[in-house]
Amino acid sequence: MKLWVYGCCMSVLLAACNNRQQAGDTQHNDSAAVYLTTPDERQLFAQQAALGVVKDTAVINLRMDTSRRFQEIEGFGAAVTGSSAYVMQQYMSPTQRQALLEDLFGTEKGIGINYIRMSIGASDFSTSPYSYDDMPAGQRDDSLKHFSIEHDEKELVPVLKQVVAINPGIHIMGSPWSAPGWMKTSGKLEGGSLRPDAYEVYARYFVKYIRAFGEEGIKITALTVQNEPQYEALYPTMKMTAPEQGKFIRDHLGPLLEKEGLSEQTKIMLFDHNWNSPEYPISILDDSLIAKYTAGAAFHCYEGAVGAMSKVHDAHPEKGLYFTECSGGSWSPVFADNLQYMVRQLLIGTINNWSKNVLLWNMALDEKNGPTTNQPGTGTGNRGCMTCRGVVTVNSNGGGVTRNVEYYALAHFSKFVRPGAKRIYSSALPEKGIENVAFLNADGSRVMVVVNTTKEERAFSVSEQRGVYQYVLAPGAVVTLVWR
């Protein structure tokens, strides 16, 4: 049964039922479009009957105020990893791949994803470990003569070109899992730190990366200096302390991007790790000589609480905050649980804690949650995430696509909250089991996303500039309301 029917069965909403339109493309100026996902998966980002203005209000009243504006939104999306590109290129026909990319990135018929992340060289979701300048053991390449993105030209570059063709304004963030091994204390991609005598050449490595992809028509709009700098593993990783990262940005990367005329195109972001260490980016931003080169700080979800982002905002409100990674996986198989966590914490939570974007982990993986980076010489995964789930799953036999809970969670935001939108004031009523966030797009349209975090139906009203609108939301369900 569609959720709007539940509402019509409640006397408090009889007036609303009389004013609702049937779902469709037509929307009156005084109505709100409705898109619903329910935890039982009977409704999956499905358009419902539109809401009309009513006189009465429900017990739970939400108020929107477009005059109270906060951070600008840059986009929503996920990472197009080497593995994501591989499954799209190797398992799908050109027609299948184009259809999937249009569904993900198209703004008319698709869900309008406008921000993606890619690894600079290999991550734990690449088909093999590599950098853009690998050298034999004991040899260096300080001139970067051997720099090449050839490894990515088979799968990643073609996919990114298709994405850019569909959405020319796409934001693309680059994040390294490791510098080339010869620049590191470990002498290899796995583990270790950046050697002080390699800071200058590593900055030039970033410039070559930006330009090489730029020559392919792929504009890199943001960089994080190091993915998860507090972590080492048996796949490409590199530790980098806050003082080390600050020095690298202040003395090398920041000035070089500025000198090369790339600082306006490509923003530098700090940290790119978990919520449990807000002191890491704060300590760097406290130094004005470093802060002037940075757009702000990036966070992951795996440890700590989302409120850490507001701690950084409170310390440095002049800087942006970004949410750049979180993955669902087979450890959490229940759709309803994942829907609520992702919408409540990763989307509503991060945005209400000042994030300008929301990125999940792999855009696409196969039915075995891979491929993951192989341990050299073994042909086996090397302790990266073997249970991570993609936004979509591409079947290795025939290229069929399964849209996972991540897809629907993102769609509730990416489809209607366009780049340049501002978060606006909306009533915060978590104690009543209704959590929400609201936006004002540049074209004047307004968007509110609401999740019911209780085990009971919740009737609520929204006071918007054109009137009052009512809705009844099933337990655990998510709804997006759009005023055009």
Annotation marks residue 155 as catalytic: no
Catalytic residue among 102, 155, 325, 435: 325
**Which of 205, 222, 200 has the alpha carbon at shortest distance from 293?**
222
Strands 328-329 and 388-389: antiparallel
* Among candidate residues 484, 482, 479, 481, the one with its CA nearest the CA of residue 3: 479
**Angle at 168 (CA atoms; ends 268, 95), nearest 5 degrees:** 125
Close Cβ partners of 66 (under 8 Å, ≥ 6 residues apart): 424, 440, 446, 465
Structure tokens at 135: 């050298």
For the chain, the farthest-separated pair of C-alpha atoms sits apart, in whole angstroms, at 78
Active-site pick, 74, 155, 190, 228: 228
Euclidean distance between CA atoms 170 and 369, whole angstroms:
26
Q: How many residues does the chain have?
A: 484
The number of helices, as runs of H, and strands, as runs of E, in the chain is 14, 22
Rounded to whole angstroms, the Cα distance separating 86 from 360 reads: 18
Sheet holding 458-464, edge to edge: 46-51, 32-37, 478-483, 446-452, 434-440, 422-426, 60-72, 458-464, 467-473
316: Cβ–Cβ under 8 A, 6 or more apart, which residues? 282, 285, 286, 291, 296
In sequence order, which ranges of 74-198 are alpha helices (DSSP H)? 82-91, 94-105, 156-166
C-alpha distances (whole Å) from 244 to each of 24, 194, 367, 412 are 55, 9, 39, 39
Write the CA distances from 483 to 13, 472, 474, integer angstroms.
20, 18, 22
Active site residue 190: no
* Nearest CA among 156, 273, 300 for reference residue 220: 156
Q: How far is CA 279 from the centre of its chain?
A: 23
Distance CA 435, CA 371 (A): 36
What tokens appear for 256 in the block?
């070089």
In order, the DSSP letters of 299-315 are: EESSSS-TTHHHHHHHH
Query: Cis ω on the peptide bond leading into residue 371 (within 30° of 0)?
Result: yes
> Looking at the annotation, which residues are catalytic?
228, 325
